[in-house]
């Protein structure tokens, strides 16, 4: 983006005096910096919004786990043990995802998109595991 702004600026300024060229180059650099700052700000806002949304999903998962633990209290010992094992696995995965999100450091738009895609996939798998667990309980 900066290079194209600079290229456009140099084409437009090629017919100007050296002083005008310097002034135009400064203006182009200022505009390019503003564009870059705006893009970085939008990127940071996107990350923050995603963190909030995902933190809510993780909190919802914690609530599902707590509710499910309450529901299985009256199950037979062997059934209860199996559910507890599965719940512990889901709880661990939920905690790992929370930690992964908390540890993410903004490191460029491309890496953010890759992180977000992988994280969404993991969250979807976890959500499906929760659904599978509750369906088995109903049967």
Is the confidence at residue 138, as pLDDT, over 80?
Answer: no
pLDDT at 29: 87
What is the rounded average pLDDT of the residues 9-38? Answer: 76
- pLDDT 10s digits, 49-67: 999 999 999 999 999 889 9
The total number of structural domains that make up the chain: 1
pTM beyond 0.75: the answer is: no
Determine the structural domain holding residue 84 and report its residue range.
2-138
Q: What is the mean pLDDT of the chain?
A: 84
Percent of the chain with pLDDT over 90: 34
Tokens 């005096």 appear where?
17
- Residue 91 in contact with residue 83, Cβ under 8 Å? no
What is the rounded average pLDDT of the residues 88-116? Answer: 90
Q: Quickly count: other Cβ atoms within 10 Å of residue 97's Cβ.
A: 19
Phi, psi (rounded to 5 degrees) for 75: -75, 160
Is the confidence at residue 107, as pLDDT, over 70?
Answer: yes
Confidence of residue 7 (pLDDT cuts 50, 70, 90): low
Is the confidence at residue 3, as pLDDT, over 60?
Answer: yes
What is the rounded average pLDDT of the residues 22-35? Answer: 85
Phi, psi (rounded to 5 degrees) for 16: -100, 170
Longest pairwise C-alpha distance within the chain: 89
CA distance 125 to 89: 13
Record the tokens describing residue 119, joined without a space.
């994280």
């Amino acid at each position: 983006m900066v290079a194209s702004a600079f290229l456009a600026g140099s084409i437009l300024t090629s017919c100007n005096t050296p002083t005008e060229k310097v002034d135009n180059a400064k203006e182009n650099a200022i505009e390019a910096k503003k564009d870059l700052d705006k893009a970085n700000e939008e990127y940071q806002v996107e990350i923050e919004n995603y963190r909030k949304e995902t933190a809510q999903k993780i909190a919802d998962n914690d609530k599902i786990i707590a509710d499910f633990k309450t529901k299985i209290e009256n199950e037979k010992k062997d059934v209860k043990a199996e559910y507890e094992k599965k719940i512990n696995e889901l709880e661990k995965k939920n905690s790992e995802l929370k930690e992964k999100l908390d540890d993410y450091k903004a490191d460029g738009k491309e890496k953010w998109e890759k992180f977000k895609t992988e994280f969404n996939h993991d969250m979807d798998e976890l959500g499906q595991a929760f659904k599978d667990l509750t369906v088995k309980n109903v049967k």
